[in-house]
Amino acid sequence: MQLVRGALPHSRPAGLRFERFLGSGQGGGFGITPGLDRFGYLGLFASETEANQFIEESPQLQSYRQQAAEMRILSLQAFSSRGAWSGNDLAVATDPPPEGERIASITRASIRWRKARAFWSRSPAAEEGLAAAPGCQFAVGLGEAPLVRQATFSIWESQAAMTNYAHCGGHRAAIEAAYSDGYFSEWAFIRFRILRDMGHLSSLAAPS
């Protein structure tokens, strides 16, 4: 029901520029069968102060806290961004964190309907690689719409660990096929510094 409520008109928190209410699939969120026990919210704020105010005071988040068995909240600052999300250019202007500092990433794509079968035929290999990737501390699959608007959120012990995963194995093969065969009508790849990490949420990938 959180997805349904999110689609309804609602008051916007101060400083909110962009938001998405995200569902998930079974099996860590990466399956094509919808899951009913996991839900994500992404909000982009004009400033860190307004983001923190939302985290501390929002009735919306308070409602989630009261209903959830598990909940994890991360305050993030993007330092690298390519692509767009629903036409929004998510360009950033901040320095990357020092090597060895944890980072988070979002990979998001709108999959062309005629390419959905081909995309999902390659997805399991990439997911298995993510679950076993050295340095991956947390991973969950989320989406705006079943099958065709998909995202992966993950946390890594370092930039090097993230880069090593992105450039090898099933993930690299899937990405190369996606570009060469035109799977996506839109895509975004964003890396973040982790400013705050609160709470707990079970993950597909166990800590390395």
- Using the predicted structure, report yes or no on whether residue 34 has a pLDDT greater than 90: no
pTM above 0.75, yes or no: yes
**DSSP secondary structure code for residue 49 in this structure:** H
Q: Is the pLDDT of residue 43 over 60?
A: yes
Domain-located, residue 196 = yes
Q: Is residue 111 part of a domain?
A: yes
What's 29's DSSP letter? B
At 24 the pLDDT is 82
Tokens, residue 37:
């026990």
208 within domain boundaries: no
Which helix (H) or strand (E) segment is 77 a member of?
strand 71-85
Give per-residue pLDDT as tens, 119-175.
666 555 556 567 678 999 998 888 877 666 778 899 999 999 988 887 775 556 556
121, part of any domain: yes
What pLDDT digit, counting tens, does each position of 56-115 carry?
A: 999 888 888 888 899 999 999 999 888 888 877 766 767 888 888 999 999 888 777 666
25 vs 95, residue with greater confidence: 95
- Domain harbouring 34, CATH code: 3.30.70.100
Per the structure, the count of domains in the chain is 1
In a domain, 206, yes or no: no
